[in-house]
Structure 1
Amino acid sequence: MTLPTEPIGSIPRPDYLLDGLGEFAAGRIDAAELAGLESRALADTLSRFEETGSPVLTDGEQGKPSFATYPLAGLDALAPDGVVIPFADGHTRQLPRLTAGPFRYATRADSYLTRAKALTDKPVKQAVIAASALSLIYPGDGIDGYPRERFVADLVDEAEADIRGSLEAGADSVQLDFTEGRLSLKLDPSGGLLRQFVDLNNAVLDRFTAEEREKIGVHTCPGGDQDSVHSLDVDYAGLLPALFDLRAGRFYVQLASEGDPERTLGLIADHLKAGQRVFIGVTDPIDPRVETPEEVRDRVLAAARIVPPDRLGTCDDCGFSPFADDTSTSRDVAFAKIKARVEGTRLASEKLG
């Protein structure tokens, strides 16, 4: 038995790219110069991914401003005063607010995928932002001449096109980032907002065939950023039953940093539906200590006692740098953790085999 193992997405950007982003923002370099730095970082990221032995790669999100806002980069109808997301250490992230319609993506994920696939023969997965996250940019008091119903219809169309474009460009799989799922239970403990998110994402997923949905996955985590999280204190018991109602074939679930992983695995086993596979997090991007392959192996074997091994895979808990300016984890640590995950999964596969 060979258990599948996949990265989640983002890798910390090299210093020269971070410097370049600052220079570009200050107007001291142009878009072509910045694109050259991004291409250099992408090539290095893919090369280092291959050195870890990872069977599946990502572009490390080297060209994305963030995992959540890449479709918005370049749009004019935005104000900066959108929803604020607080993290446990006191820092915040703020989404933009849509000011006019119709809503259209300015950038699609397949543009990142195409550049990555040109540089490697290995399978490449593509992360996209879930429609539910982007739904938060619509203001609570509405937009004159552009009702919420029309915005949601446009958003579903755009989210479908983002996923479909990546599948048609040859993505090994497409991962919907759904970190707002767990956060929604902090914003609305009744679960009503979570159910709205699930229904909205299913409106997108229902546009794909069963075969296509086998290659579409959903990632959940408590929102790692700058070595902090926004919703680790929210009980997984409130999220997981609804999570597996999403009509996707793969689920990537943060687990290494969870306080009671055995309980969480029990919840997964209880709610995982036929045809669904769960990839459990076996490395913690927020912990600066690099896990050993043996630790990873033992985490996988413990999971395999609760979740059927033929429905199990491994991943990192979260991306290592979901926002471009997050420098809390080094590239060296990120790739060391990925290598430990790959090797530990291989050791567990041998034991299970």
Structure 2
Amino acid sequence: MTQQIPTEPIGSIPRPDYLVRGLREFAEGRIGQWQLDQLQETALADTLERFEATGSPVVTDGEQAKPSFVTYPLAGLHALAPDGAVLPFADGHTRRLPRLTAGPFAYQVYADEYLRAARERTRQPVKQAVIAPSALSLLYPETGIAGYSREDFLADLAYGSEADIRRCLDAGAETVQLDFTEGRLSLKLDPSGDLLRSFVELNNRVLDRFSPGERERIGVHSCPGGDLDSTHSLDVRYAALLPALFGLHAGKFYLALAGERERREVLAEIARHRQDGQRVFVGVTDPLDPRVETAGEVCDRVLEAAEYLSVEYLGTCDDCGFAPFADDASTSRDIAFGKIAARVRGTALAAEALEMASGQA
């Protein structure tokens, strides 16, 4: 019997045009919350139906109801100013996080809300992406907040992040994935690695609250950013990131690879630094490339990865989510699902090829 290679999506799927328009109209006060809810429910149902049509063994809600992969816990939090940390992208555009203005900090929305809505509409296993606490730590201003220390903020943040993950595990998530795109970016902002080490320490502060069995269902996603067909840290070499990344106390790692220039060099680094028991899902489709990969191309990329990583600890994924911010319409839904279908089929072809090769050995 062929040994299956697990394959999973990362998270976001481009929102349909009617939802992108609806979000804009809601922000302008032209439609109400119930109308937006209806649009999001329609988009969710279509997303899950199209996911199932690809043959994907694991699905997501496509983040159809999230404002962004970062800021969903903040909806309804009033102690925010718009002038927070800036995320610069290679094409010159930026995304800006809000800035916390007062404490205490508390999650306003937990991701199990999205997970439960998806599980009601599909029988497939559902994966849930959550934001890593390290990303939300950027909300706290460098100048501090009177009467609310950074350490008090981090304690509140860790409590909220633990609850976010645990609620998803309890609600039946197949996997809970921490989005950690800021890991690679941190080395661009601070080449000394001190910022990255502080991010890893904070994330482990949360991960260590889970049992070894629970951590097997918790993964970490790392990529060079993907927004409006641009990245924020593709020029940062994986070799600088991976030793710290694999120090995270998680069971699964989802690493962008299809868009890398030197895939074999990266694979060698992954093999060097992966720790016992950690499964690595390598990216085999590039959401920033408008061309849909063929199943054969995906198969070749999986076989390449299998030269460096034991099949026992190998999986595949897309490099990134296809639309991590709700207004990103740079990739069509047709292209996104075409790439997912190619990933699923190509991974299966690679598993068959590896099985044949082992039988002939």
Instruction: Give the CA deviation at 1:11.
Output: 0.2
The residue aligned with 2:217 is 215
User: Mapping of 1:180-329 within 5 angstroms?
Assistant: 180-329=182-331
SS of 1:315's partner is: strand
Instruction: Give the CA deviation at 1:111.
Output: 0.2
Instruction: Give the CA deviation at 1:26.
Output: 1.1
CA distance in 2, matches of 1:264, 1:21: 39
The residue aligned with 2:83 is 81
CA distance in 2, matches of 1:53, 1:257: 24
CA distance in 2, matches of 1:234, 1:305: 24
User: Mapping of 1:40-55 within 5 angstroms?
Assistant: 40-55=42-57
The residue aligned with 2:129 is 127
Post-superposition Cα deviations, 1:176-204, rounded to whole Å, max 9, x if no partner, equal 00000000000000000000000000000
Q: Which amino acid aligns with 2:265?
A: R
User: Mapping of 1:66-105 within 5 angstroms?
Assistant: 66-105=68-107
Segment drifting more, 19-28 vs 51-60: 19-28
The count of aligned residue pairs is: 353
Instruction: Give the CA deviation at 1:25.
Output: 0.8
Post-superposition Cα deviations, 1:279-335, rounded to whole Å, max 9, x if no partner, equal 000000000000000000000001101111110000000000000000100000000
Structure 1: 5+ residue runs without aligned partners? none
Post-superposition Cα deviations, 1:23-68, rounded to whole Å, max 9, x if no partner, equal 1111111101100000000000000000000000000000000000
Any runs of at least 4 consecutive aligned residues in structure 1 with deviations exceeding 2 A, and if so which?
A: none
SS of 1:314's partner is: strand
SS of 1:351's partner is: helix
Instruction: Give the CA deviation at 1:74.
Output: 1.3
CA distance in 1, matches of 2:331, 2:48: 18
Structure 1 length-normalised TM? 1.00
CA distance in 2, matches of 1:22, 1:153: 35
CA distance in 1, matches of 2:208, 2:178: 14
CA distance in 2, matches of 1:305, 1:22: 47
Which among 22, 26, 30 is matched to residue 24 of structure 2? 22
The residue aligned with 1:149 is 151
SS of 1:40's partner is: helix
Q: Which amino acid aligns with 2:277?
A: G
Which among 343, 352, 361 is matched to residue 341 of structure 1? 343
Which among 56, 59, 72 is matched to residue 57 of structure 1? 59
CA distance in 2, matches of 1:19, 1:291: 29
SS of 1:67's partner is: coil
The residue aligned with 1:32 is 34
Q: Which amino acid aligns with 1:53?
A: G
Q: Which amino acid aligns with 2:270?
A: I
CA distance in 2, matches of 1:163, 1:256: 28
SS of 1:167's partner is: helix
Q: Which amino acid aligns with 1:279?
A: F
CA distance in 2, matches of 1:149, 1:177: 22
CA distance in 1, matches of 2:265, 2:311: 17
The residue aligned with 1:6 is 8
Q: Indicate the RMSD between aligned Cα atoms, in angstroms.
A: 0.4
Percent of pairs with identical residues: 69
